[in-house]
Amino acid sequence: MTDTIEIDRLHKRYGRRIALHELDLRVRPGTVFGLIGPNGAGKTTALRTLVDIIRPSSGAVRVLGEDPRRGGPALRRRIGYVPGELHLEGRASGHRMLSFYARVSGERDSTATLRTAHELADRLGVDLSRPVRTLSKGNKQKVGLIQAFMHRPELLILDEPTSGLDPLVQREFLQLVREAKHAGQTVLLSSHVLSEIQQTADEVAVLANGRVVADGDVASLRLGSIRRVRAEVATA
Ligand code: ATP
């Protein structure tokens, strides 16, 4: 079976700064993959190339079997994306904005999509009747999550999705990720928060300075475990 995401020798430079060094990564269908790493590691850059917001300097990317550059709206419809920096400043209410998204993305059943949007809003605790620009940062983030999940896409690409959410809402979000996996959806999630990766991801890659420095399943990586090494050095 083809992998849902295939990244081969992805290289991205911004002038003299190299954001990604020949990155290789595979995400298998129906799994949750966690990308973790410090600020500036290249997580956002990698995720943006998957949705064709930025273009690689070299290397190849395939998403759901297609090149994101050529997949167009048909491919985008199959993906739910939460950007790392979410800007929601419109005068429209959450409800209006989400129904607009459902329509422009050509949902076959936009009524069902909107029904799901309202169920998600209840679970996450956000009022969709308010103009989005008047919402707090955390509540805007919830609207961002809803627009990614509401059409039940085959693939969810979530860039630091829990930023600004309080712990109870974070828990509800983790539940949504588990449900997505249970329904056969694939999830790629970036985070700074070890515990949320540990609680949801089947596989993890640790990124630092644009390179994968460790990868594997959560258990084998033993993320966050404290290890002490004692060494004795013989001197002459
Ligand atoms: P964070 O956890 O802080 O969001 P990140 O892992 O998502 O970080 P990126 O945002 O992908 O990291 O950044 C990777 C590197 O690329 C950083 O050194 C960053 O400064 C650089 N970078 C990102 N976008 C640009 C840009 N538009 N122009 C120049 N450099 C950039």
Terminal-to-terminal C-alpha distance of the chain: 58
pLDDT tens digits for 213-223? 988 887 777 65
CA of 15 to the centre of ligand 1 (A): 12
* Ligand 1 contact, 43 CB (< 6 A): yes
Q: Is the pLDDT of residue 106 over 70?
A: no
Which of 7, 13, 17, 35 to mutate for ligand 1's pocket (most ligand atoms within 8 Å of CB)? 17
* Ligand 1 contact, 4 CB (< 6 A): no
pTM of the prediction? 0.91
Whose C-alpha lies nearest to ligand 1, atom 31? 14
CA of 11 to the centre of ligand 1 (A): 13
Q: How confident is the model at residue 192 (pLDDT cuts 50, 70, 90)?
A: confident
Please identify, by atom number, the ligand 1 atom nearest to the C-alpha of residue 84.
4
* Ligand 1 contact, 100 CB (< 6 A): no
pLDDT tens digits for 108-130? 678 889 999 999 999 999 999 99
pLDDT tens digits for 131-151? 999 999 999 999 999 999 999
pLDDT tens digits for 33-91? 999 998 899 999 999 999 999 999 999 999 999 999 999 889 999 999 999 888 888 88
Residue at token pair 């329509």: 103
CA of 40 to the centre of ligand 1 (A): 5
* Ligand 1 contact, 87 CB (< 6 A): no
Phi, psi of 109 (to 5 degrees): -125, 80
C-alpha distances in Å from residue 129, one per residue of 105, 113, 229: 21, 17, 56
Please identify, by atom number, the ligand 1 atom nearest to the C-alpha of residue 37.
6
